[in-house]
Amino acid sequence: MIITIDGPAGTGKSTVSRLLAERLSYPVIYSGLYYRAIAAYLIQEELLVQVEVIKAIENIVVKSDKEVKVNGKDVSSQLRAPEVDRLSSKISQLLVVREKVGEVIKKEAKNYEGLVAEGRDMGSVVFKDADLKVYLDASLSERAHRRYLEDVGEGNLNLDEVLAEIRKRDEEDSQRKISPLIIPSDAFYIDTTEMEVNQVVEVITNKITQLKVKGSR
Ligand code: DC
């Protein structure tokens, strides 16, 4: 069973995916990590953002978010660096990069019977035939608030700045020409604005149970 979890920044996708996967004993593919891995590799190896360079990436091996290799080079320590943040966002707009990530993820998925795939286009592009396509949403102010609380320890931005960043990221994600963030017509839409993470996981788990019951009839 393939379950996709998509949605904009700050909706709790990663946490929900992790908790859901734990419940189901499924692995999770965090697709953002693959964009980050390519960006970190380009920076680390001082490579230009060129079609041939991206095409020459033969493997992206994600053992965990702390153990990632691209073409055999360990890029784990830089995945969350601000320059990787920026470059991953930029290169995620390129067709050659999106195709590469899609191809690597689909190949990886073949190893599993069940899987949770998290990102922006998992249900709309990469796993069009997923058994359940979850789309998580929340109001802009709630998402900014959550991100702000997450980052408080790092002491970078104030709430207004976080809100402006998220608004900008929303625009970029939903207006890019290739694989923009959309709500698939067959998505299971959840507005998480007023929900705790555990409630969200519960709602998705119930939906999966319903699907399984239906499937077994
Ligand atoms: O989810 P994240 O912040 O780790 O994602 C890193 C970047 O990759 C972010 O700019 C959005 C982009 N991304 C994407 O375009 N499509 C995906 N399926 C996942 C992430």
Q: Is 4 in the pocket of ligand 1 (CB under 6 A)?
A: no
**Fold of the CATH domain 2-195:** Rossmann fold (3.40.50)
CA-172 nearest atom, ligand 1: 10
The chain-wide mean pLDDT, for the chain, equals 93
Nearest protein CA to atom 8 of ligand 1, as residue: 32
Q: How confident is the model at residue 155 (pLDDT cuts 50, 70, 90)?
A: low
Beta-sheet pairing, 2-6 with 132-137: parallel
The preferred substitution site among 120, 169, 170 for testing ligand 1, maximizing ligand atoms within 8 Å of CB, is 120
Q: How confident is the model at residue 177 (pLDDT cuts 50, 70, 90)?
A: confident
Give me Rg for the CA atoms of the chain: 17
22-76 tens-digit pLDDT: 999 999 999 999 999 999 999 999 999 999 999 999 999 999 888 999 999 999 9
**pLDDT score at 154:** 63
75-116 tens-digit pLDDT: 999 998 989 988 998 999 999 999 999 999 999 999 999 999
How many residues in the chain? 217
Q: Is 36 in the pocket of ligand 1 (CB under 6 A)?
A: yes
Burial class (CB in 10 A: 0-12, 13-18, 19+), 108: middle
Domain ranges of the chain: 2-195
Beta carbons within 10 angstroms of residue 123's beta carbon: 28
Residues 6+ apart with CB under 8 A from 1: 26, 113, 114, 115, 131, 132, 208
**pLDDT score at 153:** 61
